Amino acid sequence: MMDSKTPAYDGITVPPLDKVFRAESVAIVGASPKPGARNRIVKVLIQHGFEGRIYPVSPSADEVEGHKAYKTLADLPEVPDVALIITPAATVPGLIAECGQKGITCAIVYSAGFEEIESGKELALELKAAAEKHGVHVLGPNGQGVWSVQAKTMLTFGAAAFGLRDLRHAPIAIVSQSGALMGAIGAHLQRSGLGCSYIVSVGNETCMDALDALSWVVEQDDVRVVGLYLEGLNDAARLLPIAARARARGIQIVVLKAGRSAFGQEATASHTGKIASPHAIYTDVLEQAGVIMVESLGEAMAAVEALSYMPDPRVSGDPLGGIAVLSSSGGAGALLADHSDERGLPMCTFSDATMARLEETLPEFARKANPVDLTGQIRQYPNLFRDTLAVLAAESRTEAIVIQFASSGMKDLIDNGEAFKQAAKDSGLPIVITFAMEKVSPEIRAEFAEAGILISDDPSNTMRALRWLYDRRRYAELEVAPPVVGDAVDVPQSWGGMMDYLEEAGVTPANWTLVQPGQSAAEACAGLNWPVVVKVLPDAAEHKTELGLVKLKLQTPEEVDAHAAEFRRILGQPDMPVLVQEMVTDGVEVVLSCLGNTDFGPVLSIGSGGVAIELYRDVTYLALPVTPAQVEASLRKLKLWHMLEGFRGAPKADIAALVDAAVGFGNMILRTRNLAEAEINPVLVRPEGQGLVAVDFLGTARDAH
């Protein structure tokens, strides 16, 4: 099927789904005049004003909801744009073949009974084979279809769509691996007054998956934000170029992923047949891709709301720039400042000129510094909100504005609403109006949303929304790593091969030599600096330290000879060479490793060396290839960063050398055939300007079988 998709960008192909979302004619195979899902699918189309032609296909009915029914697809008077199939699973592969014979290129299969049950797996293979053979693009099976609001093309049997009367169009799209959640989200978006443009339930993803749907959605001009509900992805690396394309088009992707807990991973596997990669990998890689990740449905809905109509924070270019807060409650203003700090958001420091204007504008009792506190006496000064807002908007350091109401929020909103809307229009700044847990009707929220103003019920939620806006602004500047060039290599097997592998990757190994049987250490170690480490080679024994097969800080050749002899005796291998390395004592321990088989393909991980990586889970993940900026941003999230910067008087480590080594190691990984995993443990990052050394390396190849 991939051959018949339309090439779009960076090797990503976009399926030709316009015929689905903007269908002018629809065949409903399995439509029925009797109550139930097979009837409701026709009713939903009619109810929401579908303007195209509807062709029920039923061997037993003459008419469904006023539309003439046809016995088979072959009997239809034209080739419909899309076939909707809601028949028993066993009939579906044959019906897909009939679609192809009729010339129908797109189908949605709602029927269950495929991958989600053991006995349906063979049917799923037959369905896929039929789709590929006949060139039919199939969404599903076991899904709830799609919503296309502007085109009035609601191709679903879901109760959520059936329960709605009027649909609001808004630049919010949803792609979901759960059909039931898809319906619930769509209903919420409509009933809350937000609206949506497209909603897609991808079902079992037998032929087309969530990323295929996403690649089409981000090409649409009536989308500004996409919410993506995921349980797991196949070939998830495709998400990165799709996210880059979305950024280029000014579209933000928001992901809610199930499977954070062990039970959650088990539940998603049984539901969709997927085994998800560890949640931490998704978290880090999605951040790398400029995707916002949320942890609940409530957060997801809040994120798509804010990102659908709010502008980005202004770029002040001033280190003292940030958020300006105007509050009628000192306590709420303090909470806003706290939540700003918790989320790493900058608070604006007002210029002297602005402070002088505030002195002129505000009464004596008001706090003039940020956050500005008008106190509860604002009733005596009816224009205080709007006058102060004008001062804050004129401050060049102001990047966003928060207006915090207290107990009389609705009155203040009504009294000053038009001034707030005008300020948003004139300044282009994101403005958030925050209540102290007071609820505002969907109608009023929608009214202010039209002006680009978000209404929030809680100071914490306000700063969360601004965090998303700042993230979107930051993501717009993300670089895309260039493709890796170079000949393919194999996983090295010998110690010398491993060290050559590291050298080619740009990760300098510690100077080393092998003491052969019958050779003296004085001869073998002539070119090394002392002290040294003596240990057996990786393939000689696992758990070297536990077996006493590693000795540190040896100062003389005689000590090396004695320990080499002891190692050979312990392992019963008199002809075994023994490894000797220069010992580096002035470096920060770091682990560089690669997981070769994740949802995203090979993934680079960077973490604290020693026990910290296990004790504190101080590790970050990056999909490959990576840029130096991505590596540095990931390092800054770790506790390790404090050690690298020079903790408690220690010299600053050579961070630039570590960044270059991580990029080079990642590029080498992409060139390595059949890599299962690789680990450099530890890398010792020496003081700034002195580079780093790799002490040990382990690489394993995937089983050929």
Res. 3: pLDDT tops 50: no
Nearest to 685 by CA among 664, 662, 663: 662
Nearest to 538 by CA among 583, 495, 584: 495
In tens, the pLDDT along 498-518 reads 999 999 999 999 999 999 999
In tens, the pLDDT along 396-435 reads 999 999 998 876 678 888 888 899 999 999 999 999 999 8
Supply the pLDDT for residue 611: 64
Question: Do residues 229 and 174 make contact, with C-beta atoms less than 8 angstroms apart?
Answer: yes
Supply the pLDDT for residue 274: 44
Nearest to 306 by CA among 176, 455, 186, 418: 455
Supply the pLDDT for residue 304: 98
H-run or E-run covering 324: strand 322-327
pLDDT band at 366 (very low <50, low <70, confident <90, very high): confident
Cβ-based neighbour number of residue 31 at 10 Å: 26
Assign a CATH topology to domain 588-701: D-amino Acid Aminotransferase; Chain A, domain 1 (3.30.470)
Residue type, 237: A
pLDDT band at 342 (very low <50, low <70, confident <90, very high): very high
List CB contacts of 296: < 8 A, sequence separation 6 or more: 256
Mean pLDDT over residues 463-483, rounded? 95
Supply the pLDDT for residue 327: 87
Burial pattern 101-130, b for ≥16 Cβ within 10 A else e, equals: ebebbbbbbbbbbbbbeeebeebbebbbeb
Supply the pLDDT for residue 705: 47
Dihedral over Cα of 114, 115, 117, 122: its sign:
positive
Instruction: Work out the end-to-end distance of the chain between its first and last CA atoms, rounded to an integer number of angstroms.
Output: 28
Supply the pLDDT for residue 97: 98
Mean pLDDT over residues 546-556, rounded? 89
Mean pLDDT over residues 97-124, rounded? 96
DSSP at 119: G
Res. 466: pLDDT tops 60: yes
DSSP at 666: H
Percent of the chain with pLDDT over 70: 93
Res. 299: pLDDT tops 70: yes
Res. 272: pLDDT tops 50: no
- What pTM was computed for the model? 0.90
Res. 615: pLDDT tops 80: no
Mean pLDDT over residues 649-671, rounded? 95
Helix 628-636 vs helix 279-288: angle between axes, to the nearest 10 degrees?
130
Supply the pLDDT for residue 262: 55
**Poorest-pLDDT segment among 128-137, 356-365, 524-533:** 356-365
DSSP at 111: -
Average pLDDT of every residue of the chain:
91
**Poorest-pLDDT segment among 294-298, 316-320, 334-338, 614-618:** 614-618
Mean pLDDT over residues 140-166, rounded? 96
Q: What CATH class is the domain 316-475?
A: alpha beta
Listed in sequence order, the DSSP H helices in 103-155 are 121-134
Architecture in CATH of 2-307: 3-Layer(aba) Sandwich (3.40)
Segments making up each domain of the chain, as ranges: 2-307, 316-475, 511-582, 588-701
The better pLDDT of the pair 331, 628 is held by 628
Supply the pLDDT for residue 275: 41
Mean pLDDT over residues 462-469, rounded? 98
Percent of the chain with pLDDT over 90: 76
Supply the pLDDT for residue 416: 85
Supply the pLDDT for residue 37: 95
Give CATH superfamily name and number for 511-582. ATP-grasp fold, A domain (3.30.1490.20)
| Cα distances (Å, whole numbers) of residue 84 to 2, 239, 458, 675 | 21, 28, 44, 43
HEC string of 644-664 equals: HCCHHHCCCECHHHHHHHHHH
Domains 2-307 and 316-475 share a fold: yes
**Poorest-pLDDT segment among 257-266, 541-550, 640-649, 660-669:** 257-266
Res. 270: pLDDT tops 50: no
CA–CA distance, 523 with 81 (Å, rounded to integer): 80
Supply the pLDDT for residue 95: 98
pLDDT band at 379 (very low <50, low <70, confident <90, very high): low
Mean pLDDT over residues 2-18, rounded? 68
Pairing of strands 675-685, 692-694: antiparallel
Res. 271: pLDDT tops 70: no
CA–CA distance, 489 with 493 (Å, rounded to integer): 12
In tens, the pLDDT along 486-497 reads 999 999 989 999
HEC string of 427-461 equals: HCCCEEEECCCCCCCHHHHHHHHHCCEEEECCHHH
pLDDT band at 373 (very low <50, low <70, confident <90, very high): confident
**Poorest-pLDDT segment among 346-360, 374-388, 650-664:** 374-388
